[in-house]
């Protein structure tokens, strides 16, 4: 029997023993995510091998609590208390950094790269602050850095932005990317409670850390938004230029008024391309209640991406937790295993765009951002108050979309004046607010929350 020319050209050579050998992984830290990673790899090893083309094995773990680590991985995995022992092991192909923070994690990641190891990390803070240095070192060494787990847990938003939407000119990205704050805001809306009360409940239930600062002050979300911004628009990481506000000053009153006006308040990470530069901001935001993202409740995450070709896409799922985050870590391990022997120049760039093609587009100061606003003013119940306020807005070229007046619960002869504006520049709004706040009939600090239609 003869073999056709086509068959001869398309026949695949058998794998060598070297190619079939399982890839070896070293874990630095085996806490919540590390233990989940080990369990997922063990449970789904056959499926993972079929996808990756070879096995993926965790052969070494570094953790200060050696006894606890050994109780998780058993006797077949080497457990040490020094991360550098794992990095120095010539048998290890991929180092998974799950320690967290900016300090020792950065040192260990850079040492792993210098040793020629691929790296997988869930450390959004590390990448947002030191990502440019890390990716440059990895590119120079010809190794890969996987970081799907750094943003939105198990939601594959990094792969979507970096690969799935690569045909698009991304216009904007907006996401609920911190489950703790979304849980708190959901509870405040459902139960009508103020922030402090709900925070204590969130801590009791384990949704918030004992020190929740990174979450409630918006810093965690800003780390993640910085990473998405870099990938969406092909710019370096610039966390220091992000505008960051948390949810600590939000009142149940404003959540209730927003609901009456057809909106819900969410802490959003937003990055948007404009003619003047790129917006990068995290803050509480009024979102129309008819939008899908406005109905994301509890500790869930969701990211909306607007592309010029695909239109609007939504990515929803668990943003934290042992196995959801492990899902993203293992996905990175599979990707690296597939491309382990590939020419480094033909791998997917870390920030989606080729390293020499990153743009120097400026990140806009928040004063230059154009958006609309929700304003709540506690004012004296007197004739002419509304007229004076609307005159100030008009003098700053700020037009009004809607006005709501409600009797204040804090005493007679006071009223809450709620104003929704059309789009205006933030700096202009700041000037108007300063003048309104100085009015003797304005009886307390003016509440200002940005509003986004996301259409």
362, part of any domain: no
* 56 and 117 part of one domain: yes
411, part of any domain: yes
Q: Specify the pLDDT at position 20.
A: 72
CATH code of 181's domain? 3.30.360.10
Residue 161's nearest CA partner among 153, 152, 170 is 170
* 184 and 302 part of one domain: yes
Could you read off the pLDDT tens digit of each residue along the chain, which spans 455 residues? 454 444 444 344 444 444 579 999 999 999 999 999 999 999 999 999 999 999 999 999 999 999 999 999 999 999 999 999 999 999 999 999 999 998 999 999 999 999 999 999 999 999 999 999 999 999 999 999 999 999 999 999 999 999 999 999 999 999 999 999 999 999 999 999 999 999 999 999 889 999 999 999 999 999 999 999 999 999 999 999 999 999 999 999 999 999 999 999 999 999 999 999 999 999 999 999 999 999 999 999 999 999 999 999 999 999 999 999 999 999 999 999 999 878 888 899 999 999 999 999 999 999 999 999 999 999 998 889 999 999 999 999 999 999 999 887 666 789 999 999 999 999 999 999 999 999 999 999 999 999 999 98
Separation of alpha carbons 18 and 202, rounded Å: 50
* 310 and 163 part of one domain: yes
Residue 158's nearest CA partner among 350, 356, 361, 353 is 350
Domain count for the chain: 3
229, part of any domain: yes
Coil/strand/helix, residue 403:
strand
7, part of any domain: no
Q: Are strands 170-176 and 263-273 parallel, antiparallel or unpaired?
A: antiparallel
* 146 and 117 part of one domain: yes
5, part of any domain: no
Q: Which residues pair with 302 in a beta bridge?
A: 176, 316
Q: Assess contact for 242 and 228: CB atoms under 8 A.
A: no
* 118 and 66 part of one domain: yes
Please give the DSSP secondary-structure letter assigned to residue 169: -
Residue 234's nearest CA partner among 151, 306, 168 is 168
For residue 288, what is the enclosing H or E element?
A: strand 278-288
The range of the structural domain enclosing residue 224 comes to: 157-318
Coil/strand/helix, residue 419:
strand
* 211 and 301 part of one domain: yes
Q: Is 266 a catalytic residue?
A: no
* 180 and 313 part of one domain: yes
CATH code of 384's domain? 3.30.70.260
For residue 232, what is the enclosing H or E element?
A: helix 219-233
Q: Specify the pLDDT at position 104.
A: 96
Identify the active-site residue in 224, 266, 318, 451: 224
Separation of alpha carbons 253 and 110, rounded Å: 48
* 305 and 335 part of one domain: no
* 290 and 161 part of one domain: yes
Q: Which residues have a Cβ under 8 Å from the Cβ of 298 and sit 6 or more positions away? A: 179, 182, 183, 186
Q: Specify the pLDDT at position 345.
A: 82
Give the pTM. Answer: 0.93
Separation of alpha carbons 144 and 90, rounded Å: 17
* 162 and 310 part of one domain: yes
Q: Specify the pLDDT at position 11.
A: 42
Separation of alpha carbons 201 and 207, rounded Å: 9
Q: Specify the pLDDT at position 344.
A: 83
CATH code of 56's domain? 3.40.50.720
């Amino acid at each position: 029997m003869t073999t056709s020319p086509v068959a001869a050209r398309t026949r695949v050579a058998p794998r060598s023993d070297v190619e079939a050998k399982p890839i070896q992984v070293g874990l630095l830290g085996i806490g919540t995510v590390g233990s989940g990673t080990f369990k997922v790899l063990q449970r789904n090893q056959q499926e993972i091998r079929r996808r990756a083309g070879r096995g993926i094995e965790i052969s070494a773990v570094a953790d200060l609590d050696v006894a606890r680590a050994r109780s998780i991985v058993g006797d077949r995995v080497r457990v040490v208390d020094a991360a550098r022992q794992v990095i120095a092991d010539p048998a290890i192909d991929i180092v998974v950094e799950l320690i967290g923070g900016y300090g020792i994690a950065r040192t260990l990641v850079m040492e792993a790269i210098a040793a020629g190891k691929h790296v997988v990390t869930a450390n959004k803070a590390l990448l947002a602050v030191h990502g440019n240095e890390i990716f440059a070192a990895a590119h120079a060494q010809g190794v890969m850095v996987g970081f799907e787990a750094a943003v939105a847990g198990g939601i594959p938003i990094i792969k979507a932005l970096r690969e799935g939407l690569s045909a698009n000119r991304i216009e904007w990205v907006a996401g609920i990317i911190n489950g703790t704050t979304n849980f708190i805001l959901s509870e405040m809306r459902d139960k009508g409670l103020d922030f402090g009360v709900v925070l204590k409940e969130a801590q009791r239930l384990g949704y918030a850390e004992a020190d929740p600062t990174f979450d409630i002050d918006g810093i965690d979300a800003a780390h993640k938004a910085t990473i998405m911004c870099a990938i969406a628009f092909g710019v370096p990481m610039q966390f220091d230029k992000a505008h960051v506000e948390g949810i600590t000053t939000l009142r149940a009153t404003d959540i209730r008024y927003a609901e009456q006006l057809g909106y819900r308040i969410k802490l959003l990470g937003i990055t948007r391309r404009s003619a003047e530069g790129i917006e990068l901001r995290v803050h509480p935001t009024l979102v129309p209640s008819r939008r899908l993202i406005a109905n994301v409740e509890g500790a869930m995450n969701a990211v909306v991406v607007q592309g010029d070709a695909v239109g609007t896409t939504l990515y929803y799922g668990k943003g934290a937790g042992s196995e959801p985050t492990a899902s993203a870590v293992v996905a990175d391990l599979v990707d690296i295993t597939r491309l382990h022997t590939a020419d480094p120049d033909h791998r997917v760039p870390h920030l989606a765009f080729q390293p020499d093609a990153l743009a120097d587009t400026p990140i806009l100061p928040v004063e230059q951002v154009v958006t609309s606003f929700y304003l709540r003013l506690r004012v004296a119940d007197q004739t002419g108050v509304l007229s004076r306020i609307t005159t100030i807005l008009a003098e700053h070229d700020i037009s009004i979309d809607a006005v709501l007046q409600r009797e204040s619960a804090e005493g007679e002869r006071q009223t809450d004046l709620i104003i929704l504006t059309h789009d205006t520049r933030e700096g202009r709004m700041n000037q108007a607010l300063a003048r309104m706040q100085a009015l003797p009939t304005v009886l307390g600090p003016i509440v200002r929350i940005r509003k986004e239609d996301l259409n």
